Structure 1
Amino acid sequence: MLARHGQAAITDSGVHGRAVVDKVLAGAAIVEAVHPVAAAALRRRLHPVVFGARQAVFTEGEPGDRLYIIKSGKVKIGRRFPGGRQHLLTILGPSDMFGELSVFDPGPRTSSATTITKVRAVWMDRDGLRAWIADRPEIGEQLLQMLARRLRRTTDTLVDHSGTDVPGRVARQLLVLAHRFGAGEGDTLRVTHDLTQEEIAQLAGAGREATHRALHDFANRGWIRLETNAVVILHPDRLAQPRRTHRPPT
């Protein structure tokens, strides 16, 4: 059973100190182009927390007033559609922020956030963010730009799902994961995603069996190598080819 923030999360006091938080903030979109004094003020408003692997941070439909910035680990953001089918919107890692919409809109959460691995994070509530923005009005514009970029990515994903076949969508998600979590190994790229095939299917907006066939077709072609919780991309240029080349042989 998934435990939630108020139940099983523990604070991270003193384990990863100010230097770690500063490093995380330096890469977070919320402080891009923000004066160091404003970043320091933000740091003072943040509270550390630790979540275990596969733990619910918050659930779609429940009230919320906190945003989170990841220090380490991975979090999946998803929505449940009518009929119970789960769709994953994105996978987040260090320096990524989530839950910020509830800070601006007091309505119920529009998505669920669940850890994939153990996660260290920091959080700030609605009052803390508003006080920070009141002290530094330019931060409001920064947040609007960040939300606009996120909306653009969501629109791109919707277009991709409506106009691309399953192998093409799976290939695109592998490249997205590689951009976010990939590490070079000679001429190859190792992507430690920590996802199940079901979760990869949810990211691609596809069924598990169709996703399984696409992944193994890519492996048989020599484009990727499948490993537990990871994929090694041998030919990223092949994955990036037009969707017609991804279709498995009949």
Structure 2
Amino acid sequence: MKTKQYMRQGQILFREGSPSDFIFIVEKGEFEVSRRNGDGRVEIIDVLRADDIFGELGVIESRPRSATIRALNDAVVTIISKEEMMKTIRNNPKALMIILKTLAQRVRMAASRKKRVYRASSKHDLVSQAV
């Protein structure tokens, strides 16, 4: 079943570690994606906008949410249950391509972020060794 949820600025849609029963599509507004890093500090990983899909990772893996989602402004999301997602994929395998493209983009983004962090730490190491 698909339903719409209206969100107010600052409202949390779900928190890191909560159950993953639904996927979401941004209809209107922007959402901040954040999680706690190894030091316990909150880091912003992404900002989601209209037509972005999220929440699919936990649903596919049947694992808790890997991030917290917060509305940056008044926003609207479409909520799709795991059962509805699976039914749609069975009836229309092309729908799976949308999810696969989303996952591929996130892998590329994570790899790029990791590369920047590695380069920054390597540069710092070289500078500190040269002094």
With the shorter chain as reference, the TM-score category is 0.7 to 0.9
Match of 1:130 among 86, 89, 103: 86
Cα distance, 1:83 vs. partner? 3.2
Q: How many pairs were matched up?
A: 121
Once the two structures are TM-superposed, the CA of residue 116 in structure 1 deviates from its matched residue by 1.1
Instruction: Report deviation, 1:153.
Output: 1.2
Q: Which amino acid aligns with 1:58?
A: F
Indicate the residue corresponding to 2:42 in structure 1. 86
How far apart in 2 are the matches of 1:85 and 1:62?
A: 18
Query: How high is the sequence identity, in percent, across the aligned residues?
Result: 23
Where in structure 2 are there 5+ consecutive unaligned residues?
Answer: 122-131
Give the secondary structure class of the aligned counterpart of 1:140. Answer: helix
Q: CA deviation at 1:162?
A: 2.5
Bigger fraction of residues in strand = 2
* Residue 87 of structure 2 is aligned to residue 150 of structure 1: no
Question: Alpha-carbon deviations, 1:28-73, whole Å to 9, x = none?
Answer: xxxxxxxxxxxxxxxxx53111011111111111112111111111
**3-state SS in 1 of match to 2:44:** strand
User: Is 1:77 the equivalent of 2:38?
Assistant: no
Q: Partner of 1:61 in structure 2?
A: 17
Paired position in structure 2 for 1:103: 59
Q: Which runs of 5+ in 1 are unaligned?
A: 1-44, 166-250
Instruction: Give the structure, 1 or 2, with the largest relative contact order (CA under 8 Å, sep 6 or more).
Output: 2
Work out the CA distance in 2 between the residues paired with 1:77 and 1:63: 16
Larger radius of gyration: 1
**Alpha-carbon shift at residue 143 of structure 1 (Å):** 2.2
Could you say what the CA RMSD is over the residues aligned between the two structures, in angstroms? 1.6
Runs of 4+ more than 3 Å apart: none
Report the CA distance between 1:161 and its aligned residue: 2.4
Q: Distance in 2 between matches of 1:137 and 1:71?
A: 23
Could you state the TM-score of these two structures normalised by the residue count of structure 2?
0.84
- Normalised by the length of structure 1, the TM-score is 0.46
| Aligned: 1:118 with 2:74 | yes
